[in-house]
Amino acid sequence: MALSLRISSSPLICRATLANGDNGRNHHAKDAAFIRRTVDLAEMSAGLTSPHPNFGCVIATSSGKVAGEGYLYAQGTKPAEALAVEAAGEFCRGSTAYLNMEPGDCHGDHAAVSALVQAGIERVVVGIRHPLQHLRGSAIRELRSQGIEVNVLGEDFESKVLEDARKSCLLVNAPLIHRACSRVPFSVLKYAMTLDGKIAASSGHAAWISSKLSRTRVFELRGGSDAVIVGGNTVRQDDPRLTARHGQGHTPTRIVMTQSLDLPEKAHLWDVSEVPTIIVTQRGARKSFQKFLASKGVEVVEFDMLNPREVMEYFHLRGYLSILWECGGTLAASAISSSVIHKVVAFVAPKIIGGRNAPSPVGELGMVEMTQALNLMDVCYEQVGPDMLVTGFLQPIPDLIPVIPSEDATVEIDPSVNPFESSIIFFYKTWDLYGSFSNFSPHPIRMPCGEENDDYMTWPSVEHYYQANKFVGVENPMAHDCVEKIRTARSPEEAALIGRSTLRQKPELVRSDWEDVKIEVMYMALKCKFSTYPHLKSMLLSTAGSVLVESSPHDLFWGGGREGEGLNYLGRLLMQLRSEYLEDSSVSAENTSST
Ligand SMILES: NC(=O)C1=CN([C@@H]2O[C@H](COP(=O)(O)OP(=O)(O)OC[C@H]3O[C@@H](n4cnc5c(N)ncnc54)[C@H](OP(=O)(O)O)[C@@H]3O)[C@@H](O)[C@H]2O)C=CC1
Ligand SMILES: Nc1c(N[C@@H]2O[C@H](COP(=O)(O)O)[C@@H](O)[C@H]2O)[nH]c(=O)[nH]c1=O
C-alpha cells in the first residue's frame, strides 16, 4: 500500500491559524458557507449518471456575492469549475472560486484548472484534496504555479466551522474516498422496520412498513448507488424490482446473492430490459438454472467462497463505488460481520407487528453482552412523513491526510516530501514489495569489522553487521566471541536474537558509545548495501518523492509504529541516502552537460 490513511472520526486536524479575532472568524464563516454550498451542488451531481466523483463549484466576488455556480453532470462532461466560470462571466476576475474537492483531470486537458486561470480567479478555496493518489495535489500545485492563492481546509485554517465544512466535503464523496483506501465499495445497509424492530411479519410478508414518502427517499438512495443487493430469500419472499422510480437519473444494477440458486423462474429481476441483474452464487450451483438465467440476459458470477467480502472485492474490481444493501437480516448480519458495511440507513415506522419469529433487520452477530453492541457514529435523525429516519456510520470515513512519522524531521531530510500529498511506502518483511529495504534482506555487505585490524569482512546482512557492532572494540574476550557469533549466525533473525539478548543480559559487553554511534553504524551499512547492489539503488531512487517507513509495530526507534508514533530512523536513513544519490546524479548530469 502506498498511502497510509489516518482513520478517524475525531475532529479534523488543522495545521495553522490563518487569521485571528473577529475578522478571521468572519472570513472562516464566509469560506465555510461557500464550501457548504459547493457540497449542496456536488450532491446534485450524485446519482445523475452512474455514480462518479461529486463536484460542485461556486464563484464568489470580493463583496461575497455568488457570481456563478456549476456541478459535474457526468464524468464525460464539462467540469463544475468550467460551468461556474461560464455562469459568472466577467465577474470571475479577482473573485474566489470554492471547490468541494480538488479537481481531477478526466480529459487530460486540465480543463478545470485552465478555466479558473483564464477567467482571472484570484483565490481558490478547496474543501479536500483529490483522494486518488495519482491526482492528489496536481491541480493545487498547478493553480499555485499560475500565481493563484490556494487554501485547503484542514491545512491552512483552524476553526470549528471550517472543520465542519471539510467534513461535509468528505461525506459527499465518501464512496470515492473509500475506493481510494480500501478494496471494497462504500456500502450502505438500508432497512425499514416497525417500532418493535421487525422487518416483516412472521409470515414473511413485508410490504409496506415505511411510508410512501420514505420509499421515495429509498428510490433516491438507489439512484445514487452503483448497485442494490439482496439475498435469495428476499427474492423468493418479495419478488422485488429494486428500481429507482423517483423519475430521474441513474438506475443501479441489481445484485442477488444466493448460495443455493434456488430461485423462482418468474421474477421481476429477470426482466433486464431496463436495468441489468447480476446473480452471485456458489461455484457449481444449479447449472441448468444458470443456463435459464443466461437465456434471460441475467449475468451469473460464480464464487469459490461466496461471502460478502469476496463479493464486494469483486465489485470493487469491476469499478463499483457504492452499494446499497436492501437485504434481510441474515445477509445483513453476514455483511456486518465481514466489515463491509460502512453506513446504516434505518426507516422506523410507528407500527407494531409483534411475532416471536418475525425477522429483524440484523440476524446473528454472535454477541452475548450489550457492551459488545456496535455503536454508530455521526448519527442523524430526521422525520420523513410519519417515519423516523436514523442514519449513522459503522466505520468512519477515512481522513486522507497521510500520517508521516516524525513529520518535521522527515521534511528536513527530504524537502520534496509534502505532508499532505506524499505517498508513504511501507516496508518491513523481506517478502513485501519493498522488502529489500529491510535490514534482514539477504544482501551480504563487505565492511571492516572494527576489531583489532581493519580488514574488510563479509557480513551476511545489514542486520548481522549492525548487531555485531554493539560489541565491537570492547576489551573482553566474551565481546569478541559475541561479534564472531553474530557474524556467523545462520540468519539475520538469529543475529538479531543474539545481539538483543546479549545487550539485555550482559550490558557490560556493549561498547560504551553505542547509543551515540548506532545511527552512524546503520547508515554506513546501508550505504554499503545500496552501493554494492545497483538494482537496490535503482529501487531506492524509484521511490523519490515518497516517504519511506519501516512499518515495524514494535520497534519505535527504527520503525514508524502502528499509528506513526515511531521515530522511523531506518526510513529516515534510507531517505537521506536517496537524497544523496539524487544529488550526486544531478551534479554529474550538470557536469556532463557543461563539458
Ligand atoms: N423491511 C425491509 O427493509 C426488508 C425486509 N425483508 C424481508 O426479510 C425477509 C428475508 O430475510 P433474509 O432471509 O434474512 O434475507 P435475504 O434473502 O436478503 O438474505 C439471506 C439469503 O442470502 C443468501 N446468502 C448468500 N450468501 C450468504 C451469506 N454469506 N450469508 C447469508 N446469506 C447469504 C442466501 O440465499 P439462498 O437461500 O438463496 O442461498 C440466504 O438465504 C423477507 O421476509 C423479506 O421480505 C428483506 C429486505 C428488506
Ligand atoms: N418493506 C420495505 C422495503 N423493503 C425492501 O424493498 C424491496 C422492494 O423493492 P421494490 O420491489 O423495488 O419496491 C424489498 O425486497 C426489500 O428489499 N423497503 C422500504 O423502504 N420500505 C419497506 O416498507
Ligand 2 centre to CA of 235 (Å) is 11
Ligand 2 centre to CA of 225 (Å) is 16
What is the ipTM for the molecules in this complex?
0.98
Comparing C-alpha atoms, which of 300, 297, 290 is closest to residue 275? 297
CA of 190, nearest ligand number: 1
Q: What atom of ligand 2 comes closest to residue 218's alpha carbon?
A: 20
Quick check: is 494 catalytic? no
Are 447 and 472 a contacting pair, CB within 8 Å? no
| pLDDT tens per residue, range 298-318 | 999 999 999 999 999 999 999
CA of 268, nearest ligand number: 2
Rounded Cα–Cα distance for residues 352 and 432 (Å): 55
What residue type is assigned to position 492 of the chain? Answer: P
Which residue is closest in CA terms to ligand 1's atom 13? 233
CA of 228, nearest ligand number: 2
- pLDDT at site 45: 86
* Cβ of 348 below 6 Å from ligand 1: no
* Cβ of 460 below 6 Å from ligand 1: no
Ligand 1 centre to CA of 529 (Å) is 57
Ligand 2 centre to CA of 411 (Å) is 54
Q: What atom of ligand 1 comes closest to residue 234's alpha carbon?
A: 17
How many other CB atoms sit within 10 Å of the CB of residue 303? 16
For a mutational test of ligand 2's pocket, the pick from 189, 215, 239, i.e. the residue with the most ligand atoms closer than 8 A to its C-beta, is 215
Cell of 231: 439475498
* Cβ of 209 below 6 Å from ligand 2: yes
* Cβ of 210 below 6 Å from ligand 1: no
- pLDDT at site 529: 98
Are 112 and 80 a contacting pair, CB within 8 Å? yes
Q: What atom of ligand 2 comes closest to residue 243's alpha carbon?
A: 12
Rounded Cα–Cα distance for residues 544 and 422 (Å): 10
* Cβ of 387 below 6 Å from ligand 1: no
- pLDDT at site 427: 96
Cell of 24: 478571521
Buried b (16+ CB within 10 A) or exposed e, 152-169: bbbbbbbbebbbebbbbb
Region of 406 please: left (phi>0), alpha (psi -120 to 50) or beta. left
Which residue is closest in CA terms to ligand 2's atom 18? 192
In what helix (H) or strand (E) does residue 279 lie, and over which residues does it extend?
strand 277-282
Residues 6+ apart with CB under 8 A from 228: 222, 242, 252, 253, 254, 255, 323, 324, 325, 326
HSE toward the beta carbon, residue 174, CA cutoff 13 A: 20
- pLDDT at site 452: 57
Are 358 and 203 a contacting pair, CB within 8 Å? no
* Cβ of 353 below 6 Å from ligand 2: no
Ligand 1 centre to CA of 329 (Å) is 6
Region of 72 please: left (phi>0), alpha (psi -120 to 50) or beta. beta
CA of 204, nearest ligand number: 1
CA of 331, nearest ligand number: 1
- pLDDT at site 461: 98
* Cβ of 330 below 6 Å from ligand 1: yes
* Cβ of 334 below 6 Å from ligand 1: yes
* Cβ of 234 below 6 Å from ligand 1: yes
3-state helix, strand, coil in the chain (%, to 5): 40, 15, 45
Which residue is closest in CA terms to ligand 1's atom 46? 328
Rounded Cα–Cα distance for residues 250 and 35 (Å): 26
Q: What atom of ligand 2 comes closest to residue 206's alpha carbon?
A: 1
Ligand 1 centre to CA of 52 (Å) is 29
Rounded Cα–Cα distance for residues 386 and 379 (Å): 19
Rounded Cα–Cα distance for residues 399 and 407 (Å): 17
Cell of 443: 544482501
Are 277 and 302 a contacting pair, CB within 8 Å? no
- pLDDT at site 241: 96
Q: What atom of ligand 1 comes closest to residue 209's alpha carbon?
A: 1
How many other CB atoms sit within 10 Å of the CB of residue 538? 11
For a mutational test of ligand 2's pocket, the pick from 211, 216, 218, i.e. the residue with the most ligand atoms closer than 8 A to its C-beta, is 218
- State the DSSP string of 125-176: EEEE--SSTTTTTHHHHHHHHTT-EEEETTTT---HHHHHHHHHHHHHTHHH
Q: Which residues of the chain have pLDDT under 70?
A: 1-25, 450-453, 593-595
CA of 191, nearest ligand number: 1
Which residue is closest in CA terms to ligand 1's atom 15? 328
Are 60 and 124 a contacting pair, CB within 8 Å? no
- State the DSSP string of 141-152: HHHHHTT-EEEE
Q: What is the DSSP letter of 11?
A: P
Cell 521515530 sits on residue: 567
For a mutational test of ligand 1's pocket, the pick from 195, 255, 257, 360, i.e. the residue with the most ligand atoms closer than 8 A to its C-beta, is 257
Can you give 364-408 as a three-state secondary structure string? CCCCCCHHHCCCCEEEEEEEECCEEEEEEECCCCECCCCCCCCHH
Ligand 2 centre to CA of 222 (Å) is 11
- pLDDT at site 34: 98
Ligand 1 centre to CA of 70 (Å) is 41
Which residue is closest in CA terms to ligand 2's atom 7? 240
**Candidate list 69, 81, 142, 163, residue with the active-site label:** 81
* Cβ of 543 below 6 Å from ligand 2: no
Beta strands at 186-194 and 387-393: parallel, antiparallel or unpaired: unpaired
